[in-house]
Structure 1
Amino acid sequence: MPDLSSSDLPVIHVDKPLSAADVAHVDGRATILGTDDDALGGVAATCIGIGHHWDAARFARFPDLRVVSRMGIGYDNVDVAAATAAGVVVCNGPASPTVSTAEHAMALMLAVTKELPSLAARARTGITGNPSPTSLELDGSTLGLVGVGRIGGRVATAAAALGMRVIAYDPELGESPDPCVSLVGLDELIETSHVISLHAPAVAATHHMIDATSLARMRRGVYLVNCARGPLIDHDALVGALESGQVAGAGLDVTEPEPLPAGHPLLQRDDVIVTPHIASSTVAGRARLFAHAFDNALAVLQGRAASVVNPEVLDD
């Protein structure tokens, strides 16, 4: 990779408007350009959200680009192999969305298990009481986490504080990262959890890991939460499981496709909450997303350490 350090102020493209907090974080350390593609020509670094898919054709359009820095932990909208072939360093921010996303997952879990959407709708009509309560008491219930990294681990701590038994499946771990979490096989998690919360990446092995077969093996009346990636769940199968009562409710911050088309069955149900991929978007969370992406891009440009997905590019 060419030496990108320079006595001149680095130029970094950003594909979103900057907030006052973002500008304060830059603090005159770089010239910021954006937010559309017209500003990308000749620029060496860009901080990106999820608006574009970065494939070989897109990298070919911007031959001067040397760094793509994700504002977030996931980089499934970046073809890493294509980036590596083009000599482009890909960065991400593993710690950026942790707190906000974990809190959002807990919010969705509480909302669906306590039937808040349907109860709020009843209250708006003037109906009081709940003649046939079916909401789940979390104390004593089992939470199954698929993935127990930074976000999943924080969800585990919060759930344990509510009195939940927390089990987790994570093939990357040899032992539990927390005494409140028991590592189990995926089969045991699917079959015994009252609530299942997904915190896995979108890769070939996890595509539609929640499908008709796995849904049928779950406890009747299970609740699902997904703040990871939409393709983890087969949404047609989920609709069927909701209609049959096999699944009692779902809280989804991510979907497939994203956003769901108007009129999609998941958008019409009182036992489902869909939010528009905003789990990390608290005020503090959004500031961290940009700060980590900017710091990573600047570090690579200046030849310093960064959170790099394809470090082999740095060795070229």
Structure 2
Amino acid sequence: MADRHSIHIDRPIVQADLDFLDGRADLIGHDDATLGNAPAAVIGIGDHWDAERFAQFPNLRVISRAGIGYDNVDVDAATAAGVIVCNGPDSPTVSTAEHTLALMFAVTKELPAKIKRAADGLSGPGAATSLELDGATLGLVGLGRIAKRVAVAAQAFGMQVMACDPFLDTSPISGVTLAALDEVISSAHVLSLHAPSTAETRHMMNATSFAAMRQGSYLINCARGPLVDHDALLVTLDAGHLAGAALDVTDPEPLPVGHPLLGRDDVVVTPHIASSTAIGRRRLYEHAFENALAVLDGRPASIVNLS
């Protein structure tokens, strides 16, 4: 039988989401004062780790991210400290893909304005300016697990799907056209971002990118906030070049109260909850804990800094 390990967790988790552990670990948390000598830590996106912090916990052997992205962890610093970094590449796929679709419908059907219209006691659509998705082009920036699921669903609604991904030479999905980034940006009626946050992708959607988009098109971001220059987004929305934007992630996160992107009829903002369904949340933490336990027990895991 495998040893019972202590695992630090950075936030409270309801017991029902931890039943899968079945007594295999002692959980401690939720701050650095309780981390102590724990050999493993399970973290969310808001828990940041750099060289200075790693140096404070020399007994730490593994950091396991509950989710895909690990831009809150300095992987080079972790490697230098002898700490293995894990992520869960498939854990948020279903929930995040569904939320991407939900945002696409919300913004293209102009739901914020329509809901306000109903609340004001008005009937009828007002101006009929919303987008019919059948026959429209969906552009995907990145074609990983989440984007693939979005692509298949979009095709079921009659959308034409284009994608760019520097790691793919051929499309893994029938009917999805691979193209260069600039062609995807300029062709899409709806552009959905599915790229990681790196120095190269920071503000990939900027004034130049927005100017290249179709007149009256829409932007969706359920990936990472820094992909979008929000000042440039505001300018292009105010100019009427884009018809709308839907954001589950922002930079900073959360946006401060009163930020000009909030409360607009042409913008939908949700607070980084794309993966937060009941099943999705459980799946995130189950994968994260299983990765941590696998590393501690010497079994295969989803390791980011495997050398």
- Structure 1 unmatched runs, 5+: 1-5
Normalising to structure 2: TM-score of the pair? 0.98
Equivalent position of 1:84 in the other structure: 79
Contact 2:10 2:47 in 1 (8 A): no
Corresponding residue SS for 1:257: coil
Contact 1:156 1:180 in 2 (8 A): no
Contact 2:2 2:297 in 1 (8 A): no
Corresponding residue SS for 2:295: helix
The range that moved more, 7-16 or 194-203, is 7-16
The range that moved more, 253-262 or 10-19, is 10-19
The range that moved more, 153-162 or 25-34, is 25-34
Corresponding residue SS for 1:11: strand
Equivalent position of 1:191 in the other structure: 186
Residue 181 (1) aligns with residue 181 (2): no
Displacement of 1:234: 0.3
Q: Deviations over 1:99-154 (max 9, x none)?
A: 00000000000000000010000000101112321000000000000011100000
> What amino acid maps onto 1:190 in structure 2?
I
Change (3 A) 1:217 1:8: closer
Report the Cα distance in structure 1 between the residues aligned to 2:94 and 2:4, rounded to whole angstroms.
32
Equivalent position of 2:57 in the other structure: 62
> What amino acid maps onto 1:271 in structure 2?
D
Displacement of 1:67: 0.3
The range that moved more, 261-270 or 248-257, is 261-270
Residue 108 (1) aligns with residue 103 (2): yes
> What amino acid maps onto 1:311 in structure 2?
L
Equivalent position of 2:46 in the other structure: 51
Identity of aligned residues (%): 65
Q: How does 1:136-215 map to 2 (within 5 A)?
A: 136-215=131-210
Displacement of 1:21: 2.7
> What amino acid maps onto 2:17 in structure 1?
D
Q: Deviations over 1:199-233 (max 9, x none)?
A: 00001221111000010011011100000000100
> What amino acid maps onto 1:42 in structure 2?
N
Displacement of 1:31: 1.0
Report the Cα distance in structure 1 between the residues aligned to 2:130 and 2:176, rounded to whole angstroms.
24
Aligned residues: 307
Equivalent position of 1:3 in the other structure: none
Normalising to structure 1: TM-score of the pair? 0.95
Equivalent position of 1:304 in the other structure: 299
Change (3 A) 1:85 1:271: same
Equivalent position of 1:226 in the other structure: 221
The range that moved more, 6-15 or 59-68, is 6-15
- Structure 2 unmatched runs, 5+: none
Equivalent position of 1:293 in the other structure: 288
> What amino acid maps onto 2:30 in structure 1?
T
Corresponding residue SS for 1:265: coil
RMSD over aligned CA atoms reads: 1.0
Equivalent position of 2:235 in the other structure: 240
Report the Cα distance in structure 2 between the residues aligned to 1:7 and 1:114, rounded to whole angstroms.
53
Displacement of 1:7: 6.1
The range that moved more, 124-133 or 245-254, is 124-133
> What amino acid maps onto 2:196 in structure 1?
P
The range that moved more, 291-300 or 202-211, is 202-211
Corresponding residue SS for 2:177: strand
Which of structure 1's runs of 4+ aligned residues deviate more than 2 A?
20-23
Residue 37 (1) aligns with residue 32 (2): yes
Picking from 255, 263, 270, the partner of 2:250 is 255
Equivalent position of 1:282 in the other structure: 277
